[in-house]
Amino acid sequence: MRKILITGGAGFIGSNFVLYMRKRYPSDRIIVFDKLTYAGNLENLKSLSSGPEYLFIKGDIKDFEILDRIFGKEEIDAIVNFAAESHVDRSILGPKAFIETNVLGTFALLEVARKHWGASKDKRFLHVSTDEVYGSLGDTGYFTEATPYSPNSPYAASKASSDHLVRAYFHTYGLPVVTTNCSNNYGPYQFPEKLMPLMIINALKGKNLPVYGDGQNVRDWLYVEDHCRAIDMVLDKGRGGETYNIGGKNEKKNIDLVNEVCSIIDERLSADKGLSARYPFKGSRKGLIHFVKDRPGHDRRYAIDCAKIEKELGWRPEHSFEAGIRKTIDWYLENPGWWERIISGEYRDYYETQYKERLVEKRSE
């Protein structure tokens, strides 16, 4: 039985990974550590209950003392670090939180792991990062693990800094680390400010679909379940000190993605009278698309070369973009309560109540 600390485990990718691991390795003990900021949602993990195999702890990864206590009590075998401020637009408006969480928080995690593990090869620190650290590509080429870092937003710069810290702790202290850099994720439980869920929800509600600039920016899209499988493989078999790029091999221009979302939603609602009555709209939702002023430092194109993880670990994405986007849209159609509570702000009340109840239960044990 492994004892795995998953930081940021109530967020989008983190919660998907927690649910994946609980299903695949039911005997492992999973300790989820999350600050529950605006994008952390305890409702994502409501199917799990505290016990020998799962524990949720609310906390900040900058807090060395609480992390130190967790390591001492739980005898942690592995860390998967998802905890991060991750929205580029927010980093432009307020970069301080990104430096504090992404840089100082990663530093605190590394220091705690170094204190408890040293250079033990039986442990594993997996740092989850982004392809945005590499900057912007032209019309051709791909990011590889050897691509020089060239971040263009405060978010990307903060993640690049954390990546460098992780690398330095391997080379300086022998800490058993590995880093993954992924392309744009999509799927269930993604916070509605991100492009995919924003377009889905606005299209359903008949609201404007804002597209930055000319809509020609290109991203490589990775279905979150495929990403979870890749992280699992790297956690188990990745070579210490190495970096693995994870991509979906699904390059899409932003405007093409939005058009596809509109087409699928129009199709789904026209075939289901109940859904069409719930989300009434006349005409094609493509008419809702409008272009807005581009954001500062908007990278033109990202694309991942994931040959290394394919050759070394045998991982490949299983979802085509067509299959993944349909599964994603269906999930949002089937779970309106989840995103409606977020839009209304009610989800904050949910996890405040749930967390307080769990604290009461813990004190009474």
Question: Which residues are marked as active site?
Answer: 131-132, 155
**Are 199 and 257 spatial neighbours (Cβ–Cβ below 8 Å)?**
yes
Cα radius of gyration (the chain): 20
φ and ψ of 306, to 5 deg: -105, 30
Residue 6: count of CB within 10 angstroms of its CB: 24
In terms of Cα–Cα distance, which of 252, 276, 125, 262 is closest to 207?
262
CB-based burial label for 266 (10 Å; 0-12, 13-18, 19+):
middle
- Kindly give the pairing relationship between strand 251-253 and strand 218-223: antiparallel
Whole-angstrom distance, CA of residue 109 vs CA of residue 92: 25
123-157 b/e (C-beta count within 10 Å ≥ 16 → b): bbbbbbbbbbbbbbbeeeebbebebeeebbbbbbb
List the alpha helices (DSSP H) in the chain.
Answer: 12-24, 64-74, 88-93, 96-98, 106-117, 154-173, 195-205, 224-237, 254-270, 273-278, 307-313, 321-334, 336-344, 346-364
CA-nearest of 121, 104, 123 to 165 is 104
Read off the DSSP letter of residue 40. Answer: -
Four-CA torsion 363, 338, 79, 116, nearest 10 degrees: -20
184: part of which helix (H) or strand (E)?
strand 184-186
